[in-house]
Every structure is written in C-alpha cells, then in structure tokens.
C-alpha cells in the first residue's frame, strides 16, 4: 500500500514506538528537516503573515517552539511570495532559523465561501484584502511554497466542512486526490519536504479510501485534513481510530491540521498523531484568556486588578517571570500592546510545555496511564472555542 518517500528533505525516526499491548497509538519521534530537528508529538504556533502575532523571533523561541507554520494564501496576497524569494526566502525575511511548514492555501481559499469558485483545474477567488481576482492551482500553490522556501510544503487540496453531504465530500476528496498527484509532479525543490493531505470527511468509507490513496503516493508526510472543523470530539476520535491504523506500517509523520486546545491534542496524540498547528492559544491570549494548569483565567475579570501573583507560579515565560496578574489585568483594560505580547508568550509556553510533558510520558512508558493527570492539567479547553485554524 505504501510508497514512502522521506527522501532528501525530511527524515522521520520513531524513537518510542507504540506499546505492543495496543493500549495507545501514541509514539515519539524526531523529524529532521533542512533547518533543524523537531521532536514529536509537537505543536506548531501559527505565523499567518510571517509573524507569530505580537512576538519577536527570540520570544517565539523562548516559548519552546521548534517549528512554526506560515500561511501560503496570506503571503501570496501580501507581500507576495516572489517578493519574499527576492529578499532571500521566508527564513531570512522573518529572521527565523528553525523549521517552517507552509500550508497550501487550500483551507483559506476554499473557506472564502461566495468569494471563490472551484473547478477541476483550480480555484478562482477574490482577495479578502482588496477584492481583486486570483487563481490558485496545485502548481501555483507549490510554486509559491517553493518561493517561500519552507522546510515542509503541503499539497493543494479542497477541504470541506466535516458535516457536508456525502456527495460534496466525495467530489472534493476525489479532486483532492487528483490535485495531490499534480502537486507531487510540480514539486522540485530538493531541500523542501512535501506532505499530502487526506480528506474524506467523517464518512468511514471515503476517509479510509482517501487515507490509502494519499499514503500510496511518495509524500514525505501525511496530513489528516478536514477535521478540527465542525465535528464533535467523538466524531474526530472515531475518524482517527479509523484512519491511523491504516498507517500503522507507514514510516511517515502524521499531521492533524488545525487542532489547538491541549485537551484535544492529548486525545489525538493517544490516537497516533505526531504534528499539530492552530491559532487557538494565541488568539484566546489576545482576548485575555490565560491557560493555566487545570483551567483558565479570564484576566479581564476585575478580581485580578489587585492580584499580586504571577499568572502561573512555575511558568518560565516572560509574563510569569516578571509580572503580576494585576499588571496584566491593567494592561488589558488599558488596551496596551504589551498585554497581547505577554499573554501570547504565556499561552504558547503553556501549550508547548504540555506537549513536552506528553512526550516525556510516552518516553517513560507511562502513557496512556498518565492521560487522566494530563487531562486535568489541560483543563476544559475544548468547550465552545472551536479549533480555529484560519487566521
Ligand atoms: Zn507564563
């Protein structure tokens, strides 16, 4: 079934395989890319416009991030992928020397609703910035990512909402398969890995067929797309329980696109997923929601105006090392820019530390027994927040 690539630009080594007992599919690994090594399971902060909102590259590093995601759709529109290439590529442009994954733009383009038309060759869409008309094809999505120079590019796909009718899901999934082959044919940059995207919605037959088809192609990694949308956690779990076992003998990393709350990450790691990305931790931080062990603080709550304690006692982030809850509460009320920077530092540090704890538990052989404790630490962060991939 498999035609694994893992040729030049990516090497994935499973360092702790799942136990033979079958109690979990969780595993640890190292993903070696052009700009560095990524320990998995891993979370990728999102740098939509070639910046993780509010943070400098040094601050991103300090959160523990080893790889970030940048959005091809946004960078194609502004400042333009060719301009970034002329200025030395994305790493130099944003002064980030660790790995970068670029998405293909499929999610953003297809999410434009009335602003886009899908045909067999590609998608015609109107810019959300100025209404100008553009066209994305698999070939253009690959060319843009090669110009940006990310460590990992992603094939152009047609995502649909998980709850879409079966005929809609089937049509989009079949087209995603044809676009996957075109993306592979168009890709030529030897220092850049290319991941393919599985679709198939929540339909078991379509999801299984898509998993097997994408895995039959020589991609460097397998993205599980079309999740982290409007499905329930139970539907997501069931879809992973169906798809991941089909990849049991596949040596490539698995990436669930768009999932971001620690509680959701934990369940997906248990089901064998290696990579994640989401805007969620940073987005809720900018709204004044601070993630802490066991729950969250809404720093806009008046009670924090007089609270001299750090947001989280044992947290190494810039916010918790230096400032009180009272000061952050004041900054948010005054709409001071420092508020967004400090809160983002904290939530990303919390999320990346959570993933480090998950990896440590898998390595120690205490996973999945440790899941109860990790669930408590994650708090109830899945409720009513949505997975929020788009920026
Ligand atoms: Zn902190």
CA of 173 to the centre of ligand 1 (A): 41
Report the pLDDT value the prediction gives residue 5, as an integer from 0 to 100: 59
CA of 139 to the centre of ligand 1 (A): 42
SS3 string of 299-359?
A: CCCHHHHHCCCCCCCCCCCHHHHHCCHHHHHHHHHCCCHHHHHHHHHHHHHHHHHHHHHHH
CA of 30 to the centre of ligand 1 (A): 27
For 242-281, what is each residue's pLDDT tens digit?
999 999 999 999 999 999 999 999 999 999 999 999 999 9
pLDDT bracket for residue 3 (50, 70, 90) = low
Please give the structure tokens belonging to residue 365: 């052989």
Mean pLDDT, the chain, as a whole number? 94
CA of 378 to the centre of ligand 1 (A): 15
Query: Dihedral, CA atoms, 209, 211, 213, 216, nearest 10 degrees?
Result: -140
CA of 321 to the centre of ligand 1 (A): 7
Please give the structure tokens belonging to residue 21: 């007992």
Residue 7 has pLDDT above 80, yes or no: no
Residue 236 has pLDDT above 80, yes or no: yes
CA of 334 to the centre of ligand 1 (A): 20
Helix or strand or coil: residue 268?
helix
Burial class (CB in 10 A: 0-12, 13-18, 19+), 35: middle
For 73-111, what is each residue's pLDDT tens digit?
999 999 999 999 999 999 999 999 999 999 998 888 878
Q: Which residues are catalytic?
A: 103, 277
Distance CA 337, CA 62 (A): 19
Report the pLDDT value the prediction gives residue 390, as an integer from 0 to 100: 35
In the block, tokens 């702790």 appear at: 16
In the chain, % of residues over pLDDT 90: 89
Residue 2 has pLDDT above 50, yes or no: no
Q: Among 176, 189, 257, which residue's Cα sits nearest to residue 217?
A: 176
Residue 238 has pLDDT above 70, yes or no: yes
Task: Compute the chain's Rg from CA coordinates.
Answer: 20
Neighbouring residues of 167: CB distance < 8 A, sequence distance ≥ 6? none
CA of 313 to the centre of ligand 1 (A): 8
For 335-351, what is each residue's pLDDT tens digit?
999 999 999 999 999 99
CA of 64 to the centre of ligand 1 (A): 12
Report the pLDDT value the prediction gives residue 107, as an integer from 0 to 100: 87
Report the pLDDT value the prediction gives residue 110, as an integer from 0 to 100: 78
For 117-136, what is each residue's pLDDT tens digit?
999 999 999 998 999 999 99
For 161-182, what is each residue's pLDDT tens digit?
888 999 999 999 999 999 999 9
Residue 334 has pLDDT above 60, yes or no: yes
In the chain, % of residues over pLDDT 70: 95
Residue 384 has pLDDT above 50, yes or no: no
Report the pLDDT value the prediction gives residue 380, as an integer from 0 to 100: 66
Helix or strand or coil: residue 238?
helix
For 68-80, what is each residue's pLDDT tens digit?
999 999 999 999 9
């Amino acid at each position: 079934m498999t035609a694994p690539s893992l040729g030049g630009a990516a090497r994935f080594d499973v360092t702790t395989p799942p136990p033979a007992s079958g109690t979990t599919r969780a595993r640890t690994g190292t993903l070696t890319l052009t700009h560095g090594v990524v320990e998995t399971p891993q979370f990728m902060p999102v740098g939509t416009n070639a910046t993780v909102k509010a943070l400098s590259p040094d601050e991103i590093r300090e959160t523990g991030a080893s790889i970030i995601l940048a959005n091809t759709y946004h960078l194609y529109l502004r400042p333009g992928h060719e301009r970034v290439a002329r200025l030395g590529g994305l790493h130099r442009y944003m002064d980030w020397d660790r790995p970068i994954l670029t998405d293909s733009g499929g999610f953003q383009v297809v999410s434009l609703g009335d602003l886009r038309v899908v045909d067999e060759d590609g998608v015609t869409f109107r810019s959300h910035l100025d209404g100008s008309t553009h066209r994305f094809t698999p070939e253009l999505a690959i060319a843009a990512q090669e110009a940006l120079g990310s460590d990992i590019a992603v094939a152009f796909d047609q995502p649909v909402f998980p709850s879409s009718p079966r005929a809609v899901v089937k049509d989009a999934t079949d087209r995603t398969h044809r676009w996957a082959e075109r993306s592979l044919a168009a890709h030529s940059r030897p220092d850049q890995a290319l991941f393919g995207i599985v679709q198939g919605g929540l339909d078991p037959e379509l999801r299984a067929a898509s998993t097997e088809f994408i895995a039959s192609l020589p991609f460097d990694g397998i993205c599980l797309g079309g999740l982290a949308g409007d499905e329930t956690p139970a539907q997501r779990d069931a879809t992973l329980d169906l798809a991941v076992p089909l990849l049991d003998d596949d040596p490539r990393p698995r990436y669930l696109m768009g999932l971001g709350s620690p509680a959701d990450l934990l369940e997906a790691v248990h089901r064998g997923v290696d990579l994640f990305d989401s805007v969620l931790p940073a987005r809720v931080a900018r709204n004044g929601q601070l993630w802490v062990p066991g729950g969250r603080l809404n720093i806009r709550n008046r009670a924090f105006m007089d609270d001299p304690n750090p947001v989280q006692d044992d947290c190494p982030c810039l916010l918790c090392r230096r400032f009180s809850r009272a000061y952050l509460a004041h900054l948010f009320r005054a709409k001071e820019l420092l508020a967004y920077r400090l809160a983002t530092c904290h939530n990303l540090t919390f999320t990346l530390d959570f993933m480090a704890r998950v990896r440590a538990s898998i390595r120690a052989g205490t996973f999945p027994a440790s899941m109860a404790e990790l669930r408590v630490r994650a708090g109830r962060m899945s409720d009513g927040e949505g997975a929020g991939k788009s920026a």
